[in-house]
Amino acid sequence: MGDTTHQTTTELYLAHPDVPPSFNAMDVKQAQTLPFCGETATFRVIGNSHAVTADSLGFHEICSCKPISERDTEVIPLEQGCTDSLASPHGVSSMAMTLPLSEFDPEADYDLCYEFGPRAYTAITTDDRTFETYHTYPEHDLLVVTTTSIAQYWAPTSI
């Protein structure tokens, strides 16, 4: 019957925390610092999905197939035809949509692309104010695409 302790992922969690996530507890597969919003951001493929930090902008995003403890977390069901959005302060918005797995091109020109196993990828593309992530779930025949845009530049405020 096989290993019954393995849980099949059924949801993806997306959040924009106020502070950067702790990378000590994460399995970082790949990381790259790239220009973003006139500053730089570090984009990471992690064992559970992706994380983005732009400390100089006060911006952080985490997407995980494990629950996130942030108060404003969007839950994305891993099933065909879902569309969800997450709006955060400072003009940040994220949109997530699920598509058939066949929509993912593993040969496209991504800024980061990590293959976890056959047809199981996390990939990221960026431009000045937007980044897209691609997460494939072959067990669901599914591709999850997130698009995060920052409408304005900002800097964190201190009191």
Strand (E) or helix (H) holding 125? strand 120-126
Higher pLDDT, 115 or 86: 115
Contact present, 23 and 42 (Cβ < 8 Å):
no
Q: Locate 37 and state its tokens.
A: 């919003």
Confidence grade of residue 5 (pLDDT, cut at 50, 70, 90): very low
Contact present, 82 and 72 (Cβ < 8 Å):
no
Domain that holds residue 57: 10-148
Query: Is residue 154 in some structural domain?
Result: no
Cα(14)–Cα(23) distance, integer angstroms: 16
pLDDT score, position 152: 63
Residue reference for tokens 């494939």:
136
Query: Is residue 155 in some structural domain?
Result: no
Confidence grade of residue 90 (pLDDT, cut at 50, 70, 90): low
Q: What is the mean pLDDT of the chain?
A: 86
CA dihedral over 28, 30, 33, 34, signed as positive or negative: negative
Query: Is residue 44 in some structural domain?
Result: yes
Cα(60)–Cα(90) distance, integer angstroms: 12
Confidence grade of residue 89 (pLDDT, cut at 50, 70, 90): low
Query: Is residue 2 in some structural domain?
Result: no
- Residue-wise pLDDT tens digits, 126-158: 998 999 999 999 999 999 999 999 876 555 544
3-class SS letters over 1-30: CCCCCCCCCCEEEEECCCCCCCHHHCCEEE
Residue reference for tokens 């019957």:
1
Tally of domains within the chain: 1
Confidence grade of residue 24 (pLDDT, cut at 50, 70, 90): confident
